[in-house]
Amino acid sequence: MRPEDYRKREEAVGEWRLGIITYRLGEEYVCEVDNVSPGARLARAKGRTREAAETQALGKARHLLSKTRVRPVG
């Protein structure tokens, strides 16, 4: 099997940027979400459609980002 229909984009969630990669693998779409800076994988999900995979992965990523505490600097 080969990954097909590979797409990559970025989206802002609050002050954070997310990198979103989606591709089709066989019968399913896979969505991987990272936090751009530093580029750590936050979530991965599968779905029957691109939208379903993205909705699920982004939901997980948003939940994780909501726990990030920002501290004053300087």
Partner 1 sequence: MASYAHPELLVETAWVEKHGNDPRVRVVEVDVDTAAYDEGHVEGALGWNWTTQLCDTVQRDIIPKAAFERLMGQSGISPETTVVLYGDNNNWFAAWALWQMKIYGHKDVRLMNGGRKKWLAEGRALTKEAPKVPPTTYRAFDPDLSIRAFLPDVQKALGGGLGLVDVRSPDEFSGKILAPPGLPETCQRGGHIPGAKSIPWGQACNEDGTFKSADDLKKLYEGKGITPDKPVIAYCRIGERSSHSWFVLKYLLGYKDVKNYDGSWTEWGNLVRAPVERGA
Under rule CB under 8 A, residue 2 binds partner 1? yes
73 binds partner 1 (CB under 8 A): yes
The answer to whether residue 47 forms part of the interface with partner 1 (CB under 8 A) is no
Residue ranges in the chain assigned as alpha helix (H): 50-65
Task: Identify the residue among 11, 44, 47, 56 touching partner 1 (CB under 8 A).
Answer: 44
Question: How far from the centroid of its chain's Cα atoms is residue 43's Cα?
Answer: 6
Other CB atoms closer than 10 Å to residue 29's CB: what's the count? 22
Beta bridge partners of 47: 29
Binding residues for partner 1, rule: CB under 8 A, are 1-4, 6, 8, 16, 21, 23, 25, 30, 32, 34-35, 37-42, 44, 46, 61, 64-65, 67-71, 73-74
